[in-house]
A and B are shown apart, each in its own frame.
Chain A
Amino acid sequence: MNECSAVIQLHQVRKSYPGAVSSEVLHGIDIRIDQGEFVALVGPSGSGKSTLLNILGLLDRPSSGSVEILGRECTEMDDAGLTTLRGHSLGFVFQFHHLLPSFSAEENVFLPMLADAGHFKPEMRTRARDLLARIGLDGFETGPASQLSGGQQQRVAIARALVMNPALVLADEPTGNLDRASGQQVFEFMRRFNRELGTAFLLVTHDPALAARCDRILTLEDGSLVTQE
């Protein structure tokens, strides 16, 4: 039994958006991601990748089916419970870095810790600086995040996703908005954190070369998983 090593498990997850014509976007998805895995999620535009990621990230609820994170069933949890679980166990990186523009790089990184604790502690800064140093951003800690380059901002976003030491980072096209070289660099950092920290990653990408370098590729087509290697 390797149940205990699963970070997240989806059973028969369906998602449809309310509308005149009932439109099911996800048709019974089963996924299991283990601790320390580095998984790619690929598929054509509109196939439901972002929808799936939102459900995995507890940002959205499935219409039916179940979501289990670190062995905990989430379907019945209320918003507060989901928020806490999300804050403690999951990290997010989005296509657009989504940093808070008027905060410094390090403030952006320790913001999740600040929200969790409710007030600032000096070790938050230490932790943020450590992560920023590890992602090649020493010297940029106190400058405003909005003055960094796209690739640098995405690296700050990765540091932010890791600051709470989550079990899984969900990255929705993190390189989609970057040039090839920066994208490559961001990918390398994620792989390195995956190796060094043992954090699992689920990475949505349109780049077959990057997908090929992941442990496993999930392909979503029209709301269904077609291959699961």
Chain B
Amino acid sequence: MRFELQMALRFLKEGRMQTALILAGISTGVGVIIFLSALIGGLQESIIDRTLGTQAHVTLRPPEEEARPQLDRSGETILEHIQRPAQRLRSILGWPQLLADLRRRPEVTAASPTVAGSAFALRGTANRSVALRGVDPDSYSGILDLRTKLTDGTLDVTGTHIIVGVELAKELGLSVGDTLRLTAPEERSEVFTISGIFDVGNKDLNLRWVYISLREGQTLMNLSGGVSTVEVKVRDIFSAEKEAQEIHAATGLKADSWMILNSELLIGLRGQSSSSVMIQFFVIVAVMLGIASVLVVSVIQRGRQIGILRAFGTRRGQVLRIFLLQGGILGLVGSLGGIVLGTVLALFFQNLVSNQDGTPIFPVALTAALYARSLLVALITGLVGAWLPARRAANLDPAVAIRYE
């Protein structure tokens, strides 16, 4: 093999200009792949992060409970027909056992009971409609870590302590220690004390969400001892829908995954991914054709040399490997250049457009896996591109090759 490697390197060195140009071509191709993947990967990651930052992966509700889009589970289309039964809030039966069962599922990382409903927040003469979220702070931290979202005060949602979003605080002129009256349907009402103010990065939610204790939520919503939803987080976010279906099948509960609730977003992301894959595919094909054409020319130019090598006992397989190796080496070396190029491009682009606080608008995802994949793809591309020229070289008739100039 060392003989073949030596010959391959020598041939590449001999064809200086051709080698340099095709390496530049491969580097450009791989650079585009790295740049595109890093950009789209980073973009999707941040979109999903933002989407899932305030959402459970799977939300469980009692069967036939509230207005929700009807889904065609076999396909991915959402039927536009929406039911709106005017039912009162119902509880999930046997939810403590359900929680225990859920936590035993290997894919589930957190499960938390919540009571969700709407209410009015009154402060002096001002009032606002808000979404109450009665939570158990300990288990809820696995769904959304409110501690990291606090801008003021402490995370205290026990008793009559509540936390509100920054927008609502601004709107009603609230600060930590102030009191706020919450009035739920059927005139159930209570006065609460603000213990903290949060910012979950979403203006609408910062205005509407009010976190109270599970017990107070149950009281206000007239759901004594019950919970209206159980929120679940899973290990692999893209397994959420599968998990939701399994939980639904096992419990009969309505189980909505973030993937269904955000199916349009997902369709968009998927479209983005597939067009990126498409572009990468054509770049790879172009690179492969480039390698093939350079090596075909090399085989033609070196016909006599190959004939001589064959005359002196070089076997067909050796000739084949000499040219395959050239393709492989071109792919590998070119992809190293491409990794440098793609990384520089991606980082440059990331720095080019940034938010006012300096954080990038388009964070790029430059991962070791991306680099490894690019190297592997380039290596395979080189070998495949070299295949036909190598076959041609190996099958060269030495008598003919030596006879003609």
Contacts and interface: CB of A to CB of B under 8 A. Distances in A.
Contacts of B403: 50
A125 to B, nearest CB: 14
A59 interface: yes
A112 B399 CA distance: 17
Interface residues of A, number: 31
A164 B313 contact: yes
B402 A111 contact: no
A116 interface: yes
A164 B314 CA distance: 13
B399 A83 contact: no
Interface stretch (B32-40, B153-161, B304-312): B304-312
Interface in A59-112: 59-60, 79-80, 83-84, 86-88, 91-92, 94, 98, 100-103, 111-112
A117 B314 CA distance: 10
A80 B320 CA distance: 13
Most chain A CB atoms below 10 A, which of B14, B312, B315, B397: B312
B149 interface: no
A133 to B, nearest CB: 21
Contacts of A164: 312-313
Interface of B is mostly: helix
A19 interface: no
Contacts of B314: 83, 87, 115
B248 interface: no
Contacts of A91: 312
A86 B309 contact: no
Given A59-B399, A103-B10, A115-B318, A86 B3 contact: no
B13 A83 contact: no
B1 A92 contact: no
A180 interface: no
Given A102-B10, A102-B14, A83 B315 contact: yes
A59 B399 CA distance: 5
Contacts of A120: 2-3, 6
Contacts of B313: 83-84, 86-88, 112, 115-116, 164
B3 A94 contact: no
Contacts of B315: 80, 83-84, 115
B3 A115 contact: yes
Contact of A57 (B305, B308, B311): B311
Contact of A115 (B14, B304, B312, B398): B312
A80 B316 contact: yes
Nearest to A80: B315
27 contacts: A57-B311, A59-B399, A59-B402, A80-B315, A80-B316, A83-B316, A84-B315, A86-B312, A87-B312, A87-B314, A91-B312, A92-B311, A92-B312, A98-B402, A100-B10, A100-B305, A101-B14, A102-B13, A102-B14, A103-B10, A111-B309, A114-B6, A115-B313, A118-B1, A119-B3, A120-B3, A120-B6
Given A50-B403, A100-B10, 18 more contacts: A59-B402, A60-B397, A80-B315, A84-B313, A86-B313, A88-B313, A91-B312, A92-B312, A94-B402, A98-B402, A102-B10, A111-B309, A114-B3, A115-B318, A117-B3, A119-B2, A119-B3, A160-B312
Interface of B: 1-3, 6, 10, 13-14, 304-305, 307-316, 318, 397-399, 402-403
